[in-house]
Every structure is written in C-alpha cells, then in structure tokens.
Amino acid sequence: MSNTNTKNMNFKHVSYLWDEAKAQELAGDEVALFIYRSNLLGADLRLTNYGGGNTSVKITDKDPLTGASSEVMWIKGSGGDIGTLTKSGCAALYLDRLRNLENVYRGIEFEDEMVELFNHCIFDLASKAPSIDTPLHGFLPFKHIDHLHPDAAIAIAAAKDGAKITEELFNGEIGWVGWQRPGFDLGLQLRSCLEEAEKKGKKLRGIMLGSHGLFTWGDTAYESYINTLEVIEKCAEYLENNYGKKRPVFGGQKIESLPEADRKLKAAKVAPILRGFCSSERQMIGHYTDDARVLEFINSNDLSKLAPLGTSCPDHFLRTKISPLVLELDPNEDLSDINAVKAKLAPAFEAYRAMYKDYYNACKKSNSPAMRDPNPVVILYPGVGMFTFAKDKTMARLASEYYVNAVNVMKGAEAVSEYTSLPHQEAFDIEYWLLEEAKLQRMPKPKALSGRVAVITGSAGGIGKAIAKKFAQEGACVVINDINQERLEGATAEFIKAFGKDAVASTLLNVTDEASTELALDQASLAFGGVDIIVNNAGISISKSIAEHTLEEWDRLYDILVKGQFIVSKAGIEVMRKQGFGGDIVNIVSKNAVVAGPNNPGYGSAKAAQAHLTRLMAAELGADKIRVNTVNPDAVISDSNIWSGGWAEGRAKAYGITVEELPAYYAKRTLLNEIILPDDIANACFAFVGGLLGKSTGNALNVDGGVAMGFYR
C-alpha cells in the first residue's frame, strides 16, 4: 500500500488533485473526507465516466436508538455522480445488517429482491436509495474503497488475456474476478477473491473486474486516493508502451478524414437526415463529435471488425446500446438531393432495427419489459465523425462520451491482447434489467417541448428572449442569436446559467444575409441534430409619415421584416424536410398588419407582407406537416427593443402625447385595459408549438389586450 510520501509524485495519465490544506480542514470527519476524495476522482474523466463508479467509507457511529456503537457504511447513492457528490447524495447503512442479508440470499436468480432489502439496513433516514453496488463495498473489509471505470483498467479487464495481464503487471497485488453483473453475488465473489489471496499469503491492493472496472482501497481517504491513482497510472503506462508495438493501432488507417471545416459542414448537412431516421419512435436530440480518438477508430481497418462487437463495461453499454451503426456513405457524398440520400441510408437503418429486434427476441425472458426503441444511439460516419441521438441533449452528449470511452478500451485491449465484448445475453440482461426498467418508469414525464430544437431570431433581448426562455422552460433546446455580439454574449451566459450548457447554443445571425442564416442553421444542426421550430422575431421599427420616410428606411424595413422572414424560413424548411417529421414556423407580426394607423406606412405595410407570407407558406407547407402561424403583438413596451431608435417618440407624436404617457395610453385603448409584456407573446407562441394546437396552420393570434380595430373579419 502506498503512503503519503508518494503524494508529490508526478502522474502522466491521471490528475493528482489532492490539496493537503483542504484535507486538514476536514480532518476528523471521515465522511467529509470520503466525499472530498470522491469529488477529486470524479473530476478526472480519465478515472471514471459521468455517473459511473462508486465510493464508500466505513465509520463507527452511535446508534440513535440504543446509543451503542455501530459500524456504518456511507456510500454514493443510486443515480449519483461522484464528481458532484454531496452528503445528501449518499446512503448510510448498518454494516452488520447489510452483511447479515447473506443469510436470506437465495442465489443469483433472486438478485432483484435483495435491492429492496437494502432499505432495511438504512442508518441515516435521510439517505439516498442504496445503489446496486452496495454489497460490493459492504463485503470488503477496507475502510475507504473506490470502484471506478477508468478506460485504462477496463482495456485490460476487457482483454482476452486480462486475468493473466493483471497478474503479471501487478505481480499478484491486484486480484481478478471474471465478469458478473453487479449485485449481491458479485459482492460475495469480491470477498472470496480477497480470502483466496490471503490464503496464498498475498496482500491485495485492488481487484480487477472482468469487462467492468476496478476496485481499490486504503485505510485513509488519502491512501485510497493515491492507491487508485497509482494503479490506474500503471495500467495506462502499460497500454501506452504497447500501442503500435504488435501491429498498427486499429490495424492502421483505411481512409482519410475530411479537413476540419469540410467535415463539420458535412456533419451539419447530414445530421438532420440521421435525426429523422433515429426519430421514428420519438423525436431525438443529436450530438456530434470529431474527436481525434473517434476519427482514429472510424477511419481504421479494424472498424468493421470491432464496431459490431459493441461495448463491454455496463455503464458504457447502457448509454450506447448493443452496437453502433456504421454508415457506408462516402465522406464526399453529394447531399444536395435529400430523397436520394435518404434512399441510400434507409436500408442501413432498416437492417439495424431488424438486428435489434432479433437481439431482443433471442434474449428476452417471460418477464422482460417490452422492446424499447430499436433505432441506433451511436452512428459512425467514416471520414466525418460520430453522431449520437437520445431523448435530450445531455443524454446524447453522455452517449458520445461513453462511446469515446469504449473506443479507448478497444484500442488498449487490442494493443495488448484481443478485445472482447459482453455476450448478447449478458448485455440484454443489463439493458432490460427489471431494476433498470423501474428506474426508467420513475423518470419524470417529458415536458411539452422535450426533444425539440427552436431557433428564435433576435433572441438576445426583448420579445425574442422571452420566447426563448419560455421554450427552454418547456424543455426545448434553444439557439440564441443576434446581430450584436455583445448582446448575444450576455444573453448566452444568462441562458446557460438558467438552463445549463446542454440546452443552449448561440450564433451571430444577420437575417438579411443568406450565408449568415445558413451558417446559423448549420450551427443548430451541429449542436442538436436539426431544427423543429423557427420563430421569426427579429425586427426594427420606424415611425414616420410618407413624406418623412426615406427610401433607405423603407428598404431596411422590408429587408429585415419581409426578406428576413423569407430567408430564415427557407433555410429552416430545408432542415425540416431533411428530418421528415414536420415542424413549426411562428412569425411575430403586429397589430399594424391589419390596422391602418398614422405615420406608419413602411412598418405597417411590411408587417402586412409578413402576415400574408405566413398564409402563403402555410398553404404550401401543409404537405410537409410544417405548420406556419402568426402572433400579432401590440404595444409591447416593457423590455422590447422595438422602442429604441425613435419609435416611441414617433408613436407618441402621432397620438399627440408624451413618451411617458404611452403605456397608459396603450392599456386604456384595449378592451381588457392591460399592458402587454414580452412574456405574453412568449405564451402565445408556446400555444402554437406546445402540442395543443397541432392541427392549426395559417392562423393568427392577437396578443394586444383587445384592440377592436385589430379583430379579424
């Protein structure tokens, strides 16, 4: 076992993050030190993936009922992540009760019933639900234990000669337990492994789990931490020394990647098509990466051999499915003919779905849950990159990260031996585990806009910002955009803070420029896989009489309001047609489109053109299931950019009042005597896209407090 003298050693393949000053602040509180250690381990994704692995500590505490000393194990609770673990995310159990469950254990066929019994071992009533890994920690005697899923260790654990390599690499100090699904039986096997080693006079510092991960331990939080780092460092160093030694990595390169700009453009253009295929059961959100590790794998000679094998580690498999879909599509494929590309790709998706159904039918049991979505999660496009699709952006991103982990594992295993994946039945038993199904059933109901991507023009402020916030609150991924860089950066930071980085993308956008618009839609497709909702909100306002109006002002109004609506809608329609499951376009027009007011010829006529363009688009796009509707605001004064640039002064002049009197004037002229806010417009937009008006197109919704002159006739 390592000692504190090693704390200053240099690591190459792992990050040493221990802060002795911080640890001293926590001295005497073993639970706090265990959480500190856990957070450090989780901060380095080379040590374990998000949500993967588990950590624990055993302490002596006073029984709240008897006052007697009791041995208590604190462990990461079910569904948590060690990188962000807090005390509230832990489970605390009486250790003797947990171990006594062995007396009622009926065998591996009854694993699921043991999980329910963990609740009878709870010490701290505020505990998180104990995880399936609880007995794995409980049956080992060590005070501090780390169970991680480092790629370097799993590469050895998934190697055909993994047991032999482990024995030789660590000179017998790391034990070996062959593949077994996590649960009570695996906990007993870990104990047996330790006991067998002790009989042979060996003192283990850890145990390798075949095709799964690594267990390490220590008498203190620091000793466990440094022991874990040392073992993983040694695994990684061993792999590095063997890359390319036996044969070229992944058998050598077969094809070349497109240049970076070209492959990102190709990815943006093909992503909506892939998303359409992957959304045959429900709308999915996409993620794209051209990580160098991915490109090395997908461009290699061994891709065709290794990709069908799938992953080995349960955490990887649960996120990425049985295997990826590899596209047999030339990186330089012409994507301009959407129907031709779809026809070329359709057989591959049909074959994948058929394969998945065969896998399900061959492995299912009488009590197995119904078959889930048969579409691929991971799609590999040689020369271009990797796409992943899931119910939301976070899940899609995590699937991508997990498959990168799997690539690392395959690379390492092939360098030192031969990569082996889980047998299909074992994989199925994990994917369709009744406990996993119960976890899925407990998931909250999706929000109205979950799985949808919205581009709202001019969304860095005013009405557009309110619409984007409403959509994000309802579960949509939003693409924030503006022509002003500073305003865009501020809004983007605000949205990321409120909704998280996964739900938000941002891009500069000039709606009057086709190239700028195409780039913005490409960015949306790269970020989320496509676009479902376009809200044409960007606009300006100029209030002048005909005599005062200049031709330049007239052209500017029509460029931004009418041409901008046309350009953005056209680009959005192309993406929606690639996806093939319809979409929504909502145009923010105005009461001025239907009411003739004073000193308003340019703005009013441009808004009228927007309104009629909406009707024309609705008439044309119905066959594509693309709904096109209008929201007509009026007098949105609060936090609206329309009131800058002299518009407020112009309207006040037209009505013979001061600017300060405008809010009361506008409210008084409405039937409801209400001031209209940006949130009111956002709610109207949501009404069109949120599912309740799914059979409505070509319609207009006035949000003006009731202006009789604006009634539709």
Q: Per-residue confidence at 333, pLDDT binned at 50, 70, 90? A: very high
3-state SS assignment for residue 77: strand
Q: Per-residue confidence at 644, pLDDT binned at 50, 70, 90? A: low
From CA 78, how far away is CA 74, in angstroms rounded? 12
Which among 209, 242, 275 is the end of a domain?
A: 242
Which among 382, 417, 441 is the end of a domain?
A: 441
471 and 535 inside one domain: yes
CA atoms within 13 A on the CB side of 2: 22
Position 711 scores a pLDDT of 87
3-state SS assignment for residue 351: helix
Q: What is the mean pLDDT of the chain?
A: 94
- DSSP letter for each residue of 365-388: -TTPPPP---S-SEEEETTTEEEE
Angle between helices 111-118 and 434-441 (to 10 degrees): 50
Is the residue at 710 inside a domain? no
142 and 288 inside one domain: no
367 and 413 inside one domain: yes
- Three-state secondary structure along 80-143? CCHHHCCHHHEEEEEHHHHHHHHHCCCCHHHHHHHHHHHHHHECCCCCCCECCCHHHHHCCCCC
Q: Per-residue confidence at 5, pLDDT binned at 50, 70, 90? A: very low
218 and 317 inside one domain: no
In this predicted structure, the answer to whether residue 638 has a pLDDT above a threshold of 70 is no
- Domain encompassing residue 60: 4-242
3-state SS assignment for residue 315: helix
Q: How far apart are the first and last CA of the chain?
A: 85
Closest CA to 689 of 636, 639, 630, 640: 630
Is the residue at 250 inside a domain? no
- DSSP letter for each residue of 178-211: ----SSHHHHHHHHHHHHHHHHTT---SEEEETT
Provide mean pLDDT across the span 184-202. 97
CATH of the domain at 274: 3.40.225
Provide mean pLDDT across the span 262-275. 99
Closest CA to 647 of 610, 604, 589: 604
In this predicted structure, the answer to whether residue 208 has a pLDDT above a threshold of 90 is yes
From CA 235, how far away is CA 478, in angstroms rounded? 42
Q: What percent of the chain has pLDDT over 90?
A: 84
In this predicted structure, the answer to whether residue 340 has a pLDDT above a threshold of 70 is yes
Amino acid code (one letter) for 621: L
Is the residue at 658 inside a domain? no
Amino acid code (one letter) for 342: K
209 and 356 inside one domain: no
From CA 326, how far away is CA 308, in angstroms rounded? 9
Is the residue at 665 inside a domain? no
Is the residue at 66 inside a domain? yes
155 and 301 inside one domain: no
Position 10 scores a pLDDT of 83
In this predicted structure, the answer to whether residue 652 has a pLDDT above a threshold of 80 is no
From CA 581, how far away is CA 102, in angstroms rounded? 53
Provide mean pLDDT across the span 321-344. 96
91 and 37 inside one domain: yes
Amino acid code (one letter) for 92: A
In this predicted structure, the answer to whether residue 592 has a pLDDT above a threshold of 80 is yes
Position 519 scores a pLDDT of 98
Lowest-pLDDT range of 134-138, 179-183, 456-460: 179-183
Is the residue at 670 inside a domain? no
From CA 342, how far away is CA 47, in angstroms rounded? 40
Residues taking part in catalysis: 603
CATH of the domain at 598: 3.40.50.720
In whole angstroms, how far apart are CA 419 and each of 53, 210, 410?
22, 12, 6
Position 436 scores a pLDDT of 77
Is the residue at 210 inside a domain? yes
Q: Per-residue confidence at 3, pLDDT binned at 50, 70, 90? A: very low
Structural domain count of the chain: 3
CATH of the domain at 9: 3.40.225.10
Is the residue at 497 inside a domain? yes
From CA 682, how far away is CA 348, in angstroms rounded? 41
From CA 174, how far away is CA 197, in angstroms rounded? 10
Closest CA to 232 of 292, 166, 163, 313: 166
With tokens 């002795």, the residue in question is 20
420 and 471 inside one domain: no
**Strand 90-94 and strand 378-381: pairing?**
unpaired
Residue 10: count other Cβ atoms within 10 Å of its Cβ.
Answer: 6
Which among 189, 215, 242 is the end of a domain?
A: 242
The token duo for 303 is 């891709």
In this predicted structure, the answer to whether residue 2 has a pLDDT above a threshold of 50 is no
Alpha helix segments (H runs only) across 216-366: 221-242, 260-278, 292-298, 303-306, 314-320, 338-363
pTM over 0.85: yes
Lowest-pLDDT range of 60-69, 299-308, 567-576: 60-69
519 and 424 inside one domain: no
Q: Exposed e or buried b for every residue in 138-165, given b needs 16+ CB within 10 A?
A: bbbebbbbbbbbbbbbbbbbbbeebbeb
430 and 496 inside one domain: no
Position 302 scores a pLDDT of 98
Closest CA to 234 of 14, 407, 48: 14
421 and 466 inside one domain: no
508 and 534 inside one domain: yes
Q: Per-residue confidence at 328, pLDDT binned at 50, 70, 90? A: very high
The token duo for 393 is 């952006």
In this predicted structure, the answer to whether residue 175 has a pLDDT above a threshold of 90 is yes
From CA 583, how far away is CA 531, in angstroms rounded? 8
Position 663 scores a pLDDT of 73
Position 368 scores a pLDDT of 94
Q: Per-residue confidence at 441, pLDDT binned at 50, 70, 90? A: confident
Provide mean pLDDT across the span 167-174. 97
Residue 216: count other Cβ atoms within 10 Å of its Cβ.
Answer: 28
Position 289 scores a pLDDT of 99
Provide mean pLDDT across the span 130-154. 97
pLDDT tens readout for residues 50-92: 877 899 999 999 999 899 999 999 999 988 899 999 999 999 9
pLDDT tens readout for residues 686-712: 999 999 999 999 999 999 999 888 888
Max distance between CA atoms of the chain, in angstroms, equals: 102
